[in-house]
Amino acid sequence: MTNGEYDMKNDGLATKASLLLVSSLTVMAGTAVAPALPSIHVHFSEIEYSGLWVQLVLTMPALFIVLAAPLTGWFLDRSGRLRLLIPAMLLYGISGSSGLYLNNIGAILAGRALLGVAVAGIMTSATTLIADYFEGRARSQFMGWQAAFMNFGGVIFLTAGGSLAELGWRWPFAIYLFAIILVPLVIFSLNEPVSVNRKSSGKDSADNFRGPARLVFFIYVIAFSGMLIFYFIPLQIPFYLNEMVGAGPAASGMSIAVVTLFAMVSSFGYGRIKNHMGFLMIFGLTFGLMGAGYLLIGLGNGYTIVLTGLAVSGLGTGLMFPNLNVWLTLEVPAVIRGRAIGGLTTAIFMGQFVSPLASQTLSGAFGTGFLFVSAGVFLLVTGLVFTFLRKAILASLKPVSAGIQPAPVKDDVSLAADTTEGFQK
């Protein structure tokens, strides 16, 4: 590091591989069982409100990620990164696999709740470690890789989940045991970053930090909204395709995996895109692609058109997470990095948890096709606003301190390659 925040020398291949593999456990963790939802519903159909309970199997982790992420962020800043990461991985494997051996829907939901706690710990730890180990263009590039591996995990989890669901509804829960296999690699390849200013009383201390709160909140709002709409796909696509073309679990799992496959492609290219575009321009592109894809899904009348829409929306989704992470970690000092990322994690998974309520209300009242069309229109409009009004938006988010003139906003295309892009502190 060049800024003196952390002394970190172990940045070799094993370290990078560990961070990427651990990251693959996170965002798509809840959706590994999505292709099995219809089968789980059939198995528990005699239980009152079985449809609601089965939906909670998918979304329960998100609620407990929302609750746990702020606490995990605080713990990271106070006690270190690896003290949380390794126990969280063990909990992930044990709680995530609960559907393999539990017979009561309540007990399975309890396991899903603990899975949420584990994901909160893993996601905040992994992202914070990446921000600790890298800076500037290297951070942008590696966070693009991180998002790509998150989507790679989604491709593997969803494809495997769909195939295993053909054998029975329990088998997709076995996927979560992969986290336990990774624990030895993490122990031997990652070192705790040594902070040299965590207790500092200087300008970067947590007590003295007066950063761009409006910008941080704005980033959180984008994360919440983007995840809320993105999650319409794993929630609704299995039922939508089953109704449209009679698709089974394997076909549904493969279709959702298309989103994560194309998201992985665009995530790998995020570092290069960031060299030529500012943060809001990238969000404009993100929501534009997602909106076009959702319109294709909602207006499509066959499996091929829906798959095309899923692929286009995936290209947009792949840019969203690295852009959120890079912008946020640029704007906050290392001493509160864990808490800031914990807040981002809360925003992302709050959107995931609210998504079933929004999607079920709209699809129940107007149909699934209308759900995707209306979401597509909203996304396209938002993308256009971010693209053409970005200077006005950024000007409204500038930090204002008494007696201090804020530095010019640097988010236009010509300055996007600058590694110090953002509001100057």
Q: What is the pLDDT of residue 254?
A: 80
- More confident of the two residues 10 and 23: 23
Residue 399 lies inside a defined structural domain of this protein: yes
| Tens digits of residue pLDDT in 277-332 | 999 999 999 999 999 999 999 998 888 899 999 999 999 999 999 999 999 998 88
Q: What is the pLDDT of residue 199?
A: 47
Say yes or no to pLDDT of 400 above 80. no
Residue 178 lies inside a defined structural domain of this protein: yes
Say yes or no to pLDDT of 154 above 90. no
Pairwise CA distance, residues 296 & 313, whole Å: 9
Residue 244 lies inside a defined structural domain of this protein: yes
| Tens digits of residue pLDDT in 253-281 | 788 878 888 998 999 999 999 998 999 99
Mean pLDDT of the chain: 83
Say yes or no to pLDDT of 228 above 80. yes
Q: Once rounded to an integer, what is the mean pLDDT over residues 208-233?
A: 85
Q: What is the pLDDT of residue 195?
A: 57
Residue 260 lies inside a defined structural domain of this protein: yes
Say yes or no to pLDDT of 372 above 90. yes
Q: Once rounded to an integer, what is the mean pLDDT over residues 68-75?
A: 92
Residue 423 lies inside a defined structural domain of this protein: no
Q: Once rounded to an integer, what is the mean pLDDT over residues 114-137?
A: 91
% of the chain with per-residue pLDDT over 70 = 86
Of 25-34, 97-106, 140-149, 229-238, the least confident: 25-34
Under the banding of pLDDT at 50, 70 and 90, the label for residue 160 is: confident
Say yes or no to pLDDT of 411 above 60. no
Under the banding of pLDDT at 50, 70 and 90, the label for residue 165 is: confident
Per-residue CA distances from 71 to 84, 125, 129, 269, 331 (Å): 11, 12, 17, 33, 21
Q: Once rounded to an integer, what is the mean pLDDT over residues 169-186?
A: 92
Say yes or no to pLDDT of 417 above 70. no
| Tens digits of residue pLDDT in 330-350 | 888 888 888 999 999 999 989
Structural domain count, the chain = 1
Say yes or no to pLDDT of 168 above 80. yes
Global pTM? 0.81
Q: Once rounded to an integer, what is the mean pLDDT over residues 394-405?
A: 62
Residue 417 lies inside a defined structural domain of this protein: no
Tokens of 180: 């336990």
Per the structure, the complete domain to which residue 284 belongs is given by 11-189+210-405
Residue 343: which CATH number? 1.20.1250.20
